[in-house]
Structure 1
Amino acid sequence: MAAYDTTRPTYGSTGPAGHVLTPFTLLFSAFAGWNDARRTRNTLSRLTDRELEDIGLNRSDIDAVAVGRWTR
């Protein structure tokens, strides 16, 4: 059985307050993305070359993985 949560507002339905909060939301989102990339980069950098090889990466792939541009 599937459930659908209808208690959360959808984006764009916040009314006039949404226009005031949008810059703060964008700033928070940018900070969260930067922090996620930083944590991913730090975590992958702590792995040994052998551990990176086990997951199909090498040291030169770390930055691309951290920012979400890694393809293989």
Structure 2
Amino acid sequence: MATFDAFTPARRAPSMGVFSNLMGRIIAWNDRRVTLKMLRGLTDRELSDIGLERGDITTWSSN
């Protein structure tokens, strides 16, 4: 028995894929930026509590 989903388009519009990809990349970049900013604001003791060292942040930010 076949089913039909009226809410799913049969084919995504090409421009929508490009827009979604761009927005996804922007969101990922911003998440990474905010995370790095927060990690840089932690003390060495706080970083140690979560299993990181200050050098780990530098290494992670350059990737």
TM-score, normalised relative to structure 1:
0.64
What is the deviation of 1:19? 1.6
Moved over 3 A (4+): none
Instruction: Using CA pairs under 8 Å that are at least 6 residues apart, name the structure with larger relative contact order, 1 or 2.
Output: 1
Aligned to 2:3: none
Larger mean Cα displacement after TM superposition, 55-64 or 26-35 = 55-64
Q: Percent identity?
A: 38
Residue 35 of structure 2 corresponds to residue 33 of structure 1: no
Aligned to 2:48: 53
| Higher Rg of the two aligned structures | 2
Aligned to 1:3: none
TM-score, normalised relative to structure 2:
0.72
What is the deviation of 1:20? 2.0
Residue 1 of structure 2 corresponds to residue 21 of structure 1: no
- Report the CA distance shift for 1:21/1:38 in structure 2 as closer, same or farther (over 3 A): same
CA deviation vs aligned residue, 1:6-25 (integer Å, no higher than 9, x gap):
xx74xxx551x432211111
- Structure 1: runs of 5+ lacking an equivalent: 1-7
The aligned length equals: 57
